[in-house]
Structure 1
Amino acid sequence: MELLLETVALFSLKLAYETEDSSPILRDDLMMSDYEREVFGLLVRRGDVEAIQSKVDECLVLGLNAIGGIETVLGRELHRLAADFSASQAMEQLDAPLIALKDYLKDIQ
């Protein structure tokens, strides 16, 4: 799950900060330091669903703003997927919405 969480964060930050004429954002970039696999791993081991959701939400807000906000077609779908993820109340419930977020973010890159 840690890799999946890190991937969602990475794709969100890519939407927000990566431009065509710049080098790509990678997992080991400084801006990913708060969203590394190890950070998520600690939260997963603790079972801290709220902290995981908060960290992912920070990135999703940046990504949502980058695609024009909730008023756009892409934004509405990202918002819906983010709401599904935020509605999860147990670790076991995070997988499906997290996979949907990852797939969607990858598709709109």
Structure 2
Amino acid sequence: MELHLETVALFSLKLAYESEGQSPILRDDLVMGDYQRDVFELLVRRGDVEGIQVKVGECVGLALEAVGGVDKPLGRELGRLVGELASIQTVEQLDAPIIALKDYLKEIQ
């Protein structure tokens, strides 16, 4: 679970900040500081679904901006997937929406 959460953050930040001709954003970059696997591991261990949703929401919000918002085709789907994540109430329910979000972000890279 923590790896999927970190990957969602990484792909989101890549969409938001990575540009042609620059070094790629990697897991150990400073921009990933608040979104590393150990941060998500602590939130998962605590069962802090709201904390996870906030962290993922911060990153995905940046990605959503980068693709032009919910009025654009890529943004509509991204918004829908984030909406599904926002409706989750337990850590056990997070797997499917997080994996769907990760897969979609990977596709639109």
Could you tell me the TM-score, scaled by structure 1's length? 0.99
**1:74 deviation in Å?**
0.3
**1:21 deviation in Å?**
1.0
Structure 1's unaligned 5+ residue stretches are none
SS in 1 for 2:89: coil
Computed over aligned residues only, the root mean square deviation of the Cα atoms, in angstroms, reads 0.4
Taking the TM superposition and a 5 Å limit, the aligned residue runs for 1:18-33 are 18-33=18-33
The residue aligned with 1:95 is: 95
CA offset digits 1:50-81 (Å, max 9, x no partner): 00000000000000000001110000000000
Taking the TM superposition and a 5 Å limit, the aligned residue runs for 1:1-109 are 1-109=1-109
Distance 1:44 1:104 in 2: 22
Distance 2:15 2:80 in 1: 17
Distance 2:67 2:25 in 1: 17
Q: Structure 1 vs Structure 2: percent identity of aligned residues?
A: 70
Aligned pairs, how many? 109
Could you tell me the TM-score, scaled by structure 2's length? 0.99
**Which letter maps to 1:71?**
D
Distance 1:84 1:93 in 2: 10
CA offset digits 1:74-100 (Å, max 9, x no partner): 000000000001110001110000000
Distance 2:67 2:45 in 1: 33
